[in-house]
Amino acid sequence: MPRASTVSERDIWCRTISLFLIGFVCYALPWSAFAALPLTAQNSAVLRIQGSNTIGARLGPALAKGLMEQQGLRDVRIQDSTKDNEQRIVGQTAQGRAVWIDVAAHGSSTGFSALEQATADLAAASRPIKDSELVELENLGDLKSPGAEQVIAIDGLAIILHPHNPLNRLNTEQLARLFSGEIKTWEELGGVGGAVHLYARDDQSGTYDTFKELVLSRRGKALSPLAQRFESSEQLSDAVSHDPQGVGFIGLPYVRQAKAVAIVDGDSQPMLPLNSLIATEDYPLSRRLYLYLPPNGQNPWAKALVNFAQSAQGQSIVAANGFVAQTVQAMHVSPNPQMPEAYQALSREAQRLTVNFRFEEGSANLDSKARQDLNRVLAYVRQHGKMNRQVTLAGFGDAKSDSARAALLSKLRAMAVRRELVKSGVVFREIRGFGAQLPVAANSADEGRIKNRRVEVWVY
């Protein structure tokens, strides 16, 4: 008969201590990484953020407050500055020492200028960095690299009218003619009300840069000098909501009491600025919100804030502040006769995830957001038991002279996404290429073609 094994009290004690230490390390490491963040000398901010008013007005301070609370700082509060569009987020250590983060929100371009002048550690931007800015800041490292260019949220530019304006949709061509001053009365659009009053953000604003790029410049037009300009998103929205003849453009969280209209771009369907359409970036006036972290920067608080913004807790703060979080969810899509039959079948049998993979301009490489989204999609697929033949990828592209070539390129894009997810063990049900069908933007400009070159994810 085999001899029974015996365990001494000493063995039990050692194992207990080992399990305790393992548990302690697993629990404590994430916190200790945050707790290790150093404090600056007295009377200076631990972190300085400058740039986009869209981010800096509410979202930036909220994320900074969340990070400071995660650090264990006490009595964290957001204080207004004596200067417009500047705030200080203040907390206290257990020893009573004040710790603060400064946020200045004067427009996206000011964030990049502040990085150049070493007066900011992070640039907040509601548009991608420009090539000219990349060159000016090249001594800080490559700000287009995956670690530097961080998409923290998705926003949509809403076109807003007075609540009693009867118009419910506008196309991007009409928008360009409206804001350039070519369309002068509401009657020219089939509405009523007489002369059109234009409201726009200021020249430093990323919101204005985005509108100019997506609507005006694409059609060779410039903003009318008669437009009233605003640095504050809230003030612009309130002005439109009180003016029956007014029209303006604004970030999604700032619609407030105004009326948002559906937008058509090229052959796309009319789309309201709904969260689901903005999350996938199908909405014609959707945009990304960025934090730019200089690779050669030395401030650990800057890196910590970027990581916090990308975390589940950070993305919940994104949603709570009216923007669209990048948390992946499944959504039902109702089939309609405008869809190809194969796509209708897909929408009847499966659900679409709230993420689209897109690519760098003129490249088959996934862009910075897509690289982040790979991990998000993988986490969703694992969590919901979809790893084995429960996922279909649907590729799309811009129009080509040969429809067969467009279909092939769209499938190749889907296969590029497949290649990355297969590395983590995902077994796909099907890879489809729909060519230039179901455009979400006009193919007449680079921006529209880039949006149409996309890969959707469907789960069964």
The reported pLDDT for the residue numbered 362 is 72
One of 3.40.190.10, 2.30.30.110, 1.10.3720.10, 3.40.640.10 is the CATH number of 155-279, namely 3.40.190.10
CATH 3.30.1330.60, the chain: domain bounds: 328-459
The reported pLDDT for the residue numbered 400 is 84
Lowest mean pLDDT among 82-91, 171-180, 355-364, 407-416: 355-364
pLDDT in tens, 65-122: 999 999 999 999 999 988 999 999 999 999 999 999 999 999 999 999 999 999 999 9
Query: How far is it, in rounded angstroms, from Cα 404 to Cα 8?
Result: 74
The reported pLDDT for the residue numbered 6 is 37
The reported pLDDT for the residue numbered 52 is 94
Lowest mean pLDDT among 224-238, 361-375, 415-429: 361-375
The reported pLDDT for the residue numbered 34 is 43
Output the CA–CA distances (angstroms, integers) from residue 297 to 46, 48, 52, 64, in the order listed.
Answer: 13, 12, 20, 18
Segment 230-250 mean pLDDT: 96
Whether pLDDT at 230 is above 50? yes
Whether pLDDT at 283 is above 90? yes
Which CATH code fits 328-459?
3.30.1330.60
Which CATH code fits 47-152+289-320?
3.40.190.10
56-88 in b/e form (b: 16+ CB < 10 A) is bbbbbbbbbbbbbebbebeebeeeeeeeebbbb
User: HSE-up of 325 (CA within 13 Å, CB side)?
Assistant: 18
| CA 258, 259, 260, 261 torsion-angle sign | negative
* Residue 36 banded pLDDT, cuts 50, 70, 90: low
CATH 3.40.190.10, the chain: domain bounds: 47-152+289-320, 155-279
